[in-house]
A and B are shown apart, each in its own frame.
Chain A
Amino acid sequence: MLRKAFSIAALLSVAAFGQQARIGRAASEDKIKAIDITVFPDGRGLPAGSGTAAKGKDVFKEKCAVCHNDQGQGREGQYPALVGGKGTINTPKPVKTVGSYWPYATTVFDYIRRAMPYDQPGTLQADEIYSLVGFVLNLNGIVGENDQIDKDTLPKVKMPNRDGFIPDARPDVRIKR
């Protein structure tokens, strides 16, 4: 009962606070556009532009291979492989890569745009990113070398492990006492 009284009091104080002058300042559309880089699985957030795996080959060589190696196989156990691992996810040595594990192709675009290259994120142009996505997907045998990758085609790419994810089912451990 006491707990309930407290929570109602808390809600009322929130309401009372809301009636006072707002503290946050209105954000302009330009400000939102400048910072909003999230891409959703249905393609929302993907920019204009396009690319192909063929075009991505040179970009990859120039900007990615130093860490991920020429064919995306990774390097020195410290830079992750982007290819391989097919058929390993349900074995004692799973190799999780874009091809074997990632459920959405849109995530590849989102992640490259926000985080890569590792030491210079945010420097790639939309066409370069689409081409790199195409190159990485092509290495994994998911798209063709000349398939156009853009905001309409990318969300339609079905990743091999698209259905590999299930909701959290914990608590799940049987304890004998």
Chain B
Amino acid sequence: MLGAPLSKHGSRSPHETSVRALPPPDTKTPATGSSRTPLQDTYGIITPSGLHFERHHSGVPDIDPATHELLIHGLVEQPLVYKLEDLKRFPSVSRIHFVECSGNGRSEYSGNLGANPATSHGLASCSEWTGVPVKLLLAEAKVKPEAKWVIAEGGDACRLTRSVPIAKLLDDALIVYGQNGEPIRPEQGYPMRLLLPGWEGNINTKWLRRLNVTDGPAMTAHETAYYTDLLPDGKARQFSFELEAKSVITRPAGGQKMPGGAGTYEITGLAWSGRGKIQRVEISVDDGKSWKDAELQQAGFTKAFTRFRMPWTWDGGAASLQSRATDDTGCMQPTADEMLAARGRNYSYHNNQIKVWYVRADGSVSHVAQGV
């Protein structure tokens, strides 16, 4: 039978229905909140742009790239403005990096609550980003020696703003306009966003409109009231930017059903660290009693998703599956108990504890152990 004709813009097979996980529909403020990447449905390390997680504080603005400007001012010799077309004149770089909300895994502080990889770890996604190193723009503006911080401001309705130590901007920071071969999606900051590899998602300012070079942080609401890590004694850690080594098995995982009986399967998942490269991922199928090294796909990208895989012969009985990642700084994922002992339950952010899935004898996979 003759197939469908040529088309100007392709779309996925109508048989594929994977979508982002949305919050409950009764929210009063649907422009504020998050949607989660269905990590369990992705292959390799790149997240399809339409499935990249979202975290918005005042909705997705509709920005015309012909009129949008990025202003650089403050402690510089020459304040400058750039339009998108100006940024594209600079030497461009493309790099693969993950972005993760620091609230990813928040509910895990209260137990192994995430029912599937989207709800437990879906506030993380990985893309090939294209843009210009921020240091090239700062060099043009000529930063004054007393500069220590840069206040980055978005063009969304709430003009979301974060203070960034200037050393990060002179290191690996980019202003990106490309994502996976196309212009970045509106939900990801179209026409331009700040990308601070390995740092919590909120500071990767979307819809970037301003960089104010200063001698100190602005202490904005999103670096004081929110995105600070409360300890049991009432003190809160502030400016905790880096995301630590983390992993999740995406298949077999919570919410799934083993596609057959006892026999050979692949355990696969994703690991990442904001501190560098993933060096090792170990898998346990016996409740953490013994661990085996998984195979890493093309180990080498820093601050990026790393796919891991291991063949597994399922005996048809109950099993607990878990993965633990180690990055090239030597940091390893803690267990839930170790995490709780160090930080308590009020910490909310930056949870990188080991995630456990339970395969049951009936072939269902859950975040809850059988009989619990």
Interface residue B262 (Cβ < 8 Å from any Cβ of A):
no
Closest 9 CB pairs of A and B: A90-B234, A24-B80, A115-B158, A168-B240, A27-B79, A111-B221, A114-B159, A173-B342, A173-B334
Proximity string of chain B (40-58) to chain A, C-beta cutoff 8 Å, 1 when within and 0 when not = 0000000000000000011
Q: Are A111 and B334 also in contact (CB < 8 A) when A27-B73, A36-B73, A172-B342 are?
A: no
Pick the contact of B157 from A27, A102, A115 — CB < 8 Å?
A: A115
A1 beta carbon closer than 8 Å to chain B: no
B-side interface residues, number (CB < 8 Å): 69
Is the beta-carbon distance between B219 and A40 smaller than 8 angstroms? yes
Q: Is the CB of A170 within 8 A of B240?
A: yes
Chain B residue numbers with a CB within 8 Å of A96 are 225, 230
B225's closest neighbor in chain A, by CB?
A102
B-contacting 9-mer, from A15-23, A48-56, A127-135: A15-23
B137 lies within 8 A of A24 (CB): yes
Shortest distance between the CB of A33 and any CB in chain B (Å): 10
List, in ascending order, chain B residues with CB within 8 A of A8's CB. Answer: none
Residue of A at shortest CB range from B138? A14
Q: Is A60 an interface residue (CB 8 A)?
A: no
- A residues within 8 A CB of B118? none
CB distance from A120 to the nearest CB of B (A): 9
Let me know if B136 and A14 touch, CB within 8 A.
yes
Interface of A is mostly: loop
Which residue on B lies nearest to A102, using beta carbons?
A: B225
Instruction: Let me know if B140 and A115 touch, CB within 8 A.
Output: no
Interface assignment of B91: CB less than 8 Å from any CB of chain A:
yes
Q: Are B338 and A17 in contact (CB under 8 A)?
A: no
Asked if B6 is an interface residue, CB under 8 A from chain A, the answer is: no
Asked if A35 is at the interface (CB within 8 A of a chain B CB), the reply is yes
* Cβ-neighbour of B141 out of A24, A32, A35, A177 (below 8 A): A24
- Kindly name the residue among A14, A26, A114, A121 whose own CB sees the greatest number of chain B CB atoms within 10 A: A114
Q: For B153, list chain A residues within 8 Å (CB).
A: 38
Which residues of B sit under 8 angstroms from A125, Cβ to Cβ?
none
Name A's B-contacting residues (CB within 8 A): 13-14, 17-18, 22-27, 31-32, 35-41, 76, 78-79, 89-90, 92, 94, 96, 98, 101-104, 106-107, 110-111, 114-115, 118, 121, 164-177
Q: Is there an interface contact between A107 and B224, defined as CB atoms closer than 8 Å? A: yes
B13 at the binding interface (Cβ < 8 Å): no
Considering the complex, give the chain A residue whose CB is closest to the CB of B142: A18
Of B71, B161, B218, chain A has the most CB atoms within 10 Å of the CB of B218
A89-B230 contact in complex given A24-B137, A96-B225, A165-B238, C-beta closer than 8 Å: yes
CB neighbours of B216 from chain A (8 A): 40-41
Knowing A164-B236, A175-B334, the reply to whether A26 touches B220 (Cβ < 8 A) is: no
In the complex, the answer to whether A38 meets B161 with C-beta atoms within 8 Å is yes
A112 to chain B, nearest CB (A): 9
| Additional pairs, 11, CB under 8 Å, beyond known A23-B90, A165-B224 | A22-B140, A24-B80, A24-B81, A27-B72, A92-B346, A101-B225, A111-B220, A166-B237, A166-B238, A173-B341, A175-B335
Known: A32-B73, A94-B230, A114-B161. A18 touches B139 (CB 8 A): yes
Alpha-carbon distance A96/B347, docked complex (angstroms): 12
**Residues 227-247 of chain B, each 1 if its beta carbon lies under 8 Å from chain A, else 0:** 011101111111111101000
| A27 and B71 form a contact (CB under 8 A) | yes
Flag B306-343 by CB within 8 Å of A: 1 or 0 each.
00000000000000000000000001101100110111
| Residues of chain A lying within 8 A (CB to CB) of residue B57 | 115
Q: Which one of A24, A32, A115 lies within 8 Å of B86 (CB-CB)?
A: A24
Q: How far is the CB of A128 from chain B (nearest CB, A)?
A: 18
Q: Which of B160, B235, B350 is close to A165, meaning CB atoms less than 8 Å apart?
A: B235
